[in-house]
Amino acid sequence: MKLDFNNMMQNGMEAKIAKLAPQIKAANEAMVTKREKMAWRDLPYNQERVVKEMSDYVNEMKGHIDAFVVLGIGGSALGPLAVQQALNHPFWNELPREKRKDYPKLYVLDNVDPERLVYFFDTVDVTKCLFNVVSKSGSTSETMSQFMIIQQILEEKMGKEGAKSRIVCTTDAVNGNLITIAKAEGYKYFIIPSAVGGRFSELTPVGLLPAAFCGIDIKGLLVGAAQMDERCKEADIYKNPAHMYALLHYIGMTEGKNISVVMPYADSLKFISDWYAQLWAESLGKAVDNNGKIVNVGQTPVKALGVTDQHSQVQLYAEGPFDKIIVFLGVDEYRETITIPKTYGDMPSLGFLGGVTHNELIKTEQAATEYALTKANRQNMTITLPKVTAHTLGQLLYFFEVATAYAGELLNIDAFDQPGVEEGKNATYAMFGRPGYEAKKAELDAAPAKSDKYVI
């Protein structure tokens, strides 16, 4: 994996980096001294036993189920979707079973829109699904409400013993409702390390179990992550891709670049942008710094897709406000090749395409967009994978996680909490009368009523 940041280095950027040497040194030291508090950094090295357990479980269940269904939200959903899209056939669920080598279809149910769940039941036989309930606390309203509905349906159709074989939980080892339920009901379960937060959990059973059930090389993901970890130990900012990525975004934030666009030029990497959006936004969008000072920092992540969004967003990127850093995700070698026929040679506006591959076309359009943005003095950089494999994807996921943590150090914030999210959760609990949230309910009741004047 390569990071090309040439198009970020205009306007005296090297001097700006040199001026930040003390801050860079302090952030480097913090990444070392705080490493034991970043349990996600140990995931590439300490999961040999659980990888074997997951593989054995897949072999046990394979052939007995038609679909593996993730019940989760946030990182519990975005990570599995991103890895599946990256490494498996883009129409995986439409493939006949033999082409999937007997691995099940994958569904991720990450919202509580009532229509979605009802329509899902129209498309599957729930008795032939394995439902993976993913919640560290076991009190995530969205996930646990889905679980309770599905548990009831399974028990009505299969009895308690039959339902037990169709539910697997991914949760904390000790704390929360879900581990209590799993043990009481006799459900199979896997553990999320207690010190790993949800948006950093893709390389735990949260993401590895769905991947394993779809035949993905989960060992390869971890090996790739370990390789990137070694690269991210470099003290020299010019040799550490994740630290440099974070530093350039940090400098951009100080200069009003408050939007981070991630634009893959590969459909396989499309959902990496969704996963990144949560990681970057939830980690860096903070009201106060580590000293309690009000700072209201963070960048808004925006997802785009090349070449699709050349026809919807690039006009804004090229001529709109100077408030964005654009990150291209490119691929050296695509896994398939398709050639455009040499037809309509008498039409100059079409004939030039004859004999060209789509591989050449998409890469040329990426280079052309990069050139156009650079010419317009728009900051951009490019991450390139030699090929999308489990190994390179593991590198990419880990790269973004380290970059996020390093950006947090530069901003002097806690990149691992989420108080803004908790406020909304607590308000929801209070509105439903959950015990223990009476004070929050009183606060909500005391809020000013909306005026009909402003409803038309």
Q: Is 105 a catalytic residue?
A: no
The one catalytic residue in 37, 311, 450, 453 is 311
Quick one: which H or E segment has residue 380? strand 380-385
Q: Are 220 and 87 in contact (CB under 8 A)?
A: no
Q: Helix 272-284 vs helix 390-411: angle between axes, to the nearest 10 degrees?
A: 20
Q: Angle 226-333-228 (CA atoms, 0-180°, nearest 5)?
A: 15
Q: Which residues of 334-349 are buried (b: 16+ CB within 10 A; e: fewer)?
A: beeeeeeeeeeeeeee
Q: Are 219 and 44 in contact (CB under 8 A)?
A: no
The one catalytic residue in 16, 34, 425, 441 is 425
Q: How many CA atoms lie within 13 A of 200 on its CB side?
A: 26
Q: Is 425 a catalytic residue?
A: yes
d(CA 417, CA 278): 13
What does the chain come to in residues? Answer: 456
Q: Are 228 and 219 in contact (CB under 8 A)?
A: no
The one catalytic residue in 282, 370, 401, 409 is 282
Q: What is the DSSP letter of 41?
A: G
Catalytic residues: 282, 311, 425
